[in-house]
Amino acid sequence: MSEEVMKHETGVSAHLEGDELTNHASNSKLRIFLIFLFFILSGYYLWVLYLIATPQVSLSYQTYYMDTRTLYWGRDKETFAIPESGMVNITEKSPLLTREGWRKKIVEGHRPLNSAGGLLFSSTPDKAERITISLSRDASELPRIDFYLNDVPLEPNYFRNKITLKFSMNQLNKENLNYLKIKPMESVNVQSVVFQ
């Protein structure tokens, strides 16, 4: 009987060793799979972070949605170039208007500018060297208004309800958008901005 018991115990222990080997092999395969899955997910995560850091979107999309700089969305075919006529009608929904400062509501043919705001543009008509801004009332009645082109102050000349600013083409940035900043001390109503 003891011989039978020993054979039985030997068979059981051999069977247990076989199970342990099978468990060890499956644990090893699971471990390799989890490590492989970890590297795949890490690579995917790094790729997503790269796409977030370097988005491949249009300039209109970037300025309106991502940077929230423009008041109105520009269609894909539209650019930030000032029209050849040089006139930017402020009363229309122009993608050149900054979100900062401008009100969406038009008041008697003018757009109110409550605080510092302005225009974003990529280029001007050829040989343009001055900017004329039309206001709703005589500019001499208004408190001081500061003007900047790419953070460089511009000297204004007042004539009735128009303000003229001189600039040089050297002040324009050819790689990035240019920013004409209008900074009134109190709210002003602007009708148009003309680049001549």
6: β partners: none
139: DSSP letter: G
CA 188 to chain centre: 27
C-alpha span between 133 and 131 (Å, rounded): 7
Token look-up 């979100």 returns 99
Other beta carbons within 10 angstroms of residue 17's beta carbon come to 10
User: H-helix or E-strand containing 26?
Assistant: helix 2-53
Q: What's residue 39's pLDDT?
A: 95
- CB environment 22-44: b (16+ within 10 A), e (fewer): eeeeeeeeeeeeeeeeeeeeeee
Report whether 78 contacts 58 (CB < 8 A): no
Token look-up 């997910």 returns 41
Kindly state the tokens that stand for 94: 């122009």
C-alpha span between 164 and 130 (Å, rounded): 7
C-alpha span between 118 and 88 (Å, rounded): 11
The phi and psi torsions of 85 (rounded to 5 degrees) equal: -65, -20
Q: What's residue 93's pLDDT?
A: 84
Q: What residues contact residue 109 under an 8 Å CB cut-off, 6+ apart?
A: 91, 136, 191
CA 140 to chain centre: 37
Q: What's residue 7's pLDDT?
A: 53
Q: What's residue 33's pLDDT?
A: 93
Q: In tens digits, what is the pLDDT along the chain, a chain of 196 residues?
A: 556 555 555 554 555 565 665 667 678 888 899 999 999 999 999 999 998 888 787 777 777 777 778 888 877 556 788 888 888 888 888 888 888 888 888 888 888 888 888 888 887 887 888 888 888 876 667 778 888 888 888 888 777 778 888 887 777 878 888 888 888 888 888 888 888 8
